[in-house]
Structure 1
């Protein structure tokens, strides 16, 4: 791939704008030597205004999504891309959320521009558990764990029962729920099906990955070791 297109695809600007950066001498190698558009340096050797390039395609992030942000590039209101460097929104291929957390749900959100990895993560064959903590409007009755684990719970508008899920009671109005599938607004609909209402929802684990000490609104790049942790085996 030509250098101008490579840099433009990372979101630094249009090809015309990147070409202007070359003319202005803003693109150099690690030693400060000016690069030209027909040069072929390694990605890690390129600098723009003295700063290393963003990661190349194949980027995967773990974001601690705050409540109030939408997993979209176009919706009205606060978007998850506002929590990332501005040019990440303009990368090609697009850096996409892996599945979605609704606007009012916080917690662990994966994002990637690797289509094959995205499909692998969301595929039922990967069997990646998702763990949520829910704050509820009413006290738990005591029969919820058995109903969720039964494999017979049918949600409104669905024609197939849910897979068994595990409920751990944390307090009368707080619970941890482990899911083995991903349906639209599943946690909220499950508690609605047993006569309760989720007031706050937080995803704390996907597969083997947890948020750790990542604060709300922060993100970090994932590497090969993280993907092994995510899948619980060699990635």
Structure 2
């Protein structure tokens, strides 16, 4: 079992010194009983701070509706980041949260957020073949022949030496389509259409693995249960 001060600090509630102050102030309870020592060994599920249970004590997984204009980076200088849309405490967790994969600045939609390294690998490993669905708007009328081309597994991207995996393309209107991929190469959707002579004007990811945005508004996030 972890020590109380180590636990709360790792979950982003404050430094060990700050946690010690929480304890002295009577803000921390175990099964309703006020704890008096910050080095007490505890079970995370039994602890409340200010009457609230601890947030995601065994690891955090959330979905974010990424708006246009935000970048998926921790670095400064590239514009507003997705992390500015999340609770500041998440960045104080140890480790801090990160995105599972990325969406570029000009792409909106679903992105997953976690502080669990194994989950990042689980969802991004090429062997995982996680299904991702994108809503695409292009610059000129789509050719129905693209459906077979994308499904053929023969589309080559500039600078790469192996073709893309077969992808499912559904043309939904003259200038819009829904593309389902099982891999996640750099700017893959834009590059796939560019390889066939189309420019992507708008791009939105509506699904990532088993997760869909549903009614989640841009810039909003929702906590998810950890996969079994």
TM-score (structure 1 length as normaliser): 0.88
Correspondence for 2:106: 104
Correspondence for 2:32: 31
Correspondence for 2:133: 131
Give distance in 1, aligned partners of 2:66 and 2:205: 9
SS at match of 1:82: helix
Correspondence for 2:194: 192
SS at match of 1:155: coil
**Shift of residue 175, structure 1, vs aligned partner:** 0.6
The gaps in structure 2 that reach 5 residues or longer are: none
SS at match of 1:177: strand
Task: Return closer, same or farther for 1:173/1:35 CA change in 2, 3 Å cut-off.
Answer: farther
For 1:132-151, list aligned pairs within 5 A.
132-151=134-153
Correspondence for 1:231: none
The gaps in structure 1 that reach 5 residues or longer are: 228-234
Equivalent pairs, count: 226
Encode CA deviations 1:172-226: one digit per residue, 9 max, x unaligned: 11110011111000001111111111111111112222122222222222215xx
Which of 116, 119, 122 is equivalent to 2:121?
119
Between 1:162-171 and 1:11-20, the stretch displaced more is 11-20
Between 1:47-56 and 1:199-208, the stretch displaced more is 47-56
Does the aligned pair in 2 maintain the 1:137–1:198 contact within 8 Å?
Answer: yes
Give distance in 2, aligned partners of 1:132 and 1:21: 46
**Shift of residue 34, structure 1, vs aligned partner:** 4.3
Correspondence for 1:177: 179
Does the aligned pair in 1 maintain the 2:26–2:34 contact within 8 Å?
Answer: no
Task: Return closer, same or farther for 1:72/1:30 CA change in 2, 3 Å cut-off.
Answer: farther
Encode CA deviations 1:37-65: one digit per residue, 9 max, x unaligned: 02233323323233332211321112221
Give distance in 1, aligned partners of 2:26 and 2:84: 30
Give distance in 1, aligned partners of 2:54 and 2:132: 33
For 1:67-82, list aligned pairs within 5 A.
67-76=68-77, 77-82=79-84
TM-score (structure 2 length as normaliser): 0.90
Give distance in 1, aligned partners of 2:20 and 2:32: 21
Between 1:14-23 and 1:123-132, the stretch displaced more is 14-23
Task: Return closer, same or farther for 1:18/1:200 CA change in 2, 3 Å cut-off.
Answer: same
Correspondence for 1:230: none
Give distance in 2, aligned partners of 1:40 and 1:69: 41
